[in-house]
Structure 1
Amino acid sequence: MTNIDIPIGQELVLLIAEIDEFKGKWRALNTLAPDRLAALRKIATIESVGSSTRIEGARLTDRQVQALLANVGKQSFTSRDEQEVAGYAAVMDAIFVSWESIPFSENYIKQFHKMLLKYSPKDERHRGKYKKFENSVQAFDVDGNSLGIVFETTSPFYTPRQMSEIVTQTADRLISPTIHPLLTIGIFVVTFLAIHPFQDGNGRLSRILTTLLLLKAGYSYVPYSSLESIIEESKEGYYLALRQTQGTIGSDRSPNWEPWLLFFFRVLQRQKNRLQTKLDNERIMASTLPLLSVRILELAKEHGRVTTQSIEQATGESRSTIKARLKQLTLDRLLIRYGNGRSTWYGLS
């Protein structure tokens, strides 16, 4: 792995300080009830799974992802998009449950890759194995025709050695920091994608490993706000920043880490800002609305729509009370009513 030489500009310093300030405040901010925190995490997970797979070309919306994950136990998926969503969700779930006991190692990275592609029959031969063939990054037109190679990745011959170096050095730096953990994580991600160690699934796996590394570095708020959705919104900037830095890795000069690190830290900044806004909104609702009204809004967020019957089943409240709360939430323009009679349902405004 290339020696780390990072001239840190003022913006990088300020971004690190801002992100770390939120990290330090998280325990004080984290005063929501467990069920509401669980709802935030579920929403963020759906957004992350949907966005990360769409970055790589999948087309399922967040609503379709939510419906798919509700039936993920069926174990068979008809389309490539469904296979990618199911695999990504499985790895994310494993990390959220067990990240504290998962060592950052090549063995676990290979296991995550195997899990990521476990629903895809066409990837069976190379699941969990470093690449055997060149996989340089290419650009394609709208018809799927190659427009040429954008970036030359590490050859299959040198991939095992480079992966061993980068994983070992990253794990060591997280245990005994010689540079700030966010710099360590950012440098790992851009170098991992420059190596492109697996035949397929490198982009998705890089975002999964980003979440794991952030959790292991103490950024415990990460599961409650989707990093992937922000990257999806900035997709052109994401690829541009990667190429600007990757083009300098392996050259005679020291790598220019700054383009990627600036992009990466700005994404982390937006992630924590979104979570802060969500927490503020939750507290406002909790302080100004009856508890049942807050619960109805949570159900609408989680499921996309609610009915009197679904609220009754979830809360055990009487229909008359539920109807009164729905009426007031509609008048307050927090919900919108659709349909009439028995087909009536409500969605967030």
Structure 2
Amino acid sequence: MHRDLLKFTNYSYGGQFKTTPNEIDMVLANGEKVVLFKPLEPYETAPAIEAICSKYQEALDKELVDELILIPCFLLDFLCIHPFNDGNGRMSRLLTLLLLYRSGYLVGQYISIEKAIADTQEAYYDALQRADQGWHEGTNDPKPFIKYMLSIILSCYKEFEARVSIAYSSGTKSTSYDVVKVYVSERIGKFSKQEVLMGCPSLGSSSVESALKKLVEDGTLVRIGAGRKTMYARADSIMS
């Protein structure tokens, strides 16, 4: 996965564990970099990754702990090891999707978990910082990170539920025009076709495009711009 993640970059170490020490840090609004955690050394990385993978599978097999608790624990260990020179955060997001999919939680196919994490970046780093204290000694408390990840997963399911309910709000399956019309009725300001696609996961690109065209024609929406920069807005919001 790491190899494929860096395939189209100039980095030559895709798929290889780190060869130099690294650190977990965050950049403050003023540009200042703050070091949050010092991960394992390069020579410790390979056996540590092997250990957390085998322990995770062992815990799954014993079925003593719910998978939604185990997944954040695995991710926390992965981030504390920080096994690659670059791309550790992105890899953790890919692993989040993979482990959730393997456990039957497929919300990431419809709602961006990575965006949900990016939108709550300060809470993410705060939870990570509180959960990794004492990790090297085995005395850390993973609960802050577990609670954070559970809140992210729950928020994604709530967003997905809200989007899907648009398509079935009348008790019967609506047309693409109906679905898009309900969605845009709640929008404030300008929005793009891509945003409508994300907001109406049951519809394809051509269906959304057709619905937007009809909504412009019947005066519900106003088209702004052209080509790739095309945006839409509710006609009543512009008039008011």
Which residue number in structure 1 is paired with residue 14 of structure 2?
A: 127
The change in CA–CA distance for 1:226 and 1:260 in structure 2 (over 3 A counts) is: same
Match of 2:131? 245
Change (3 A) 1:279 1:199: same
Whole-angstrom CA distance in 2 between matches of 1:286 and 1:337: 31
1:236 & 1:160 partners in 2: Cα distance?
30
Counterpart for residue 217 of structure 2? 327
Q: CA 1:286/1:259 → structure 2, altered by over 3 Å: closer, same or farther? A: same
Q: Distance in 2 between matches of 1:115 and 1:197?
A: 16
**What is the aligned partner in structure 2 of residue 293 from structure 1?**
177
Report Cα offsets for 1:121-177 as digits up to 9, x if no partner: 1x11x1101111101224556786x74633111111111111000011112333442
What is the letter of the counterpart of residue 278 of structure 1?
R
Are residue 264 (structure 1) and residue 149 (structure 2) matched? yes
Shift of 1:301: 6.5
SS at match of 1:247: coil
Provide the rounded CA distance (Å) in 2 between the counterparts of 1:194 and 1:238: 14
Distance 1:274 1:192 in 2: 28
Count of residues paired in the alignment: 214
Q: Displacement, 1:263?
A: 0.9
The alpha-carbon deviation at position 339 of structure 1 amounts to 6.2
Q: Deviations over 1:239-286 (max 9, x none)?
A: 01001111121226x321111111111111111110110111122379
Distance (whole Å) between structure 2 residues aligned to residue 166 and residue 210 of structure 1: 15
1:277 to 158, 162, 178: 162
Residue segments in structure 2 that go unaligned for 5+ positions in a row? 184-190, 197-204, 235-240
**Secondary structure of the residue that 2:136 maps to in structure 1?**
coil
TM-score by length of 2: 0.75
Task: Give CA-to-partner distance per residue, 1:294-349, whole Å, 9 cap, x none.
Answer: 47669x975468xxxxxxx946xxx9x99765433x33xxx333369xxxx66254
CA distance in 2, matches of 1:193, 1:162: 12
Matched with 2:116 is 230
1:55-106 Cα distance to aligned partner (Å, 9 max, x none): xxxxxxxxxxxxxxxxxxxxxxxxxxxxxxxxxxxxxxxxxxxxxxxxxxxx
Query: Structure 1 residues 273 and 143, CA, compared in 2 at 3 Å: closer, same or farther?
Result: closer
Q: Equivalent residues in 2 for 1:163-242 (5 A)? A: 163-242=49-128
Scaled by the length of structure 1, the TM-score of the pair is 0.53
Q: Give the structure 2 partner of residue 116 of structure 1.
A: 5
Decide whether the 8 Å contact of 1:207 with 1:228 is kept in 2.
Answer: yes
What is the CA–CA distance in structure 2 between the aligned matches of 1:336 and 1:303, rounded to whole Å? 16
Pick the aligned partner of 1:136 from 8, 12, 23. Answer: 23
Identical pairs, percent: 23
2:8 aligned counterpart, secondary structure: coil
Distance verdict in 2 for CA 1:348–1:184, change over 3 Å: farther
- Which AA in structure 1 matches 2:19? K
Structure 2: distance between partners of 1:139 and 1:259: 18
| Counterpart-to-counterpart distance in 1, 2:212 and 2:56 | 53
CA RMSD after TM alignment = 3.4
Q: What is the rounded CA distance, in whole Å, between the counterparts of 1:251 and 1:303 in structure 2?
A: 47
**Taking structure 1 as reference, are residues 285 and 241 closer, same or farther at Cα in structure 2, changes over 3 Å only?**
same
Name the structure with the higher helix share.
Answer: 1
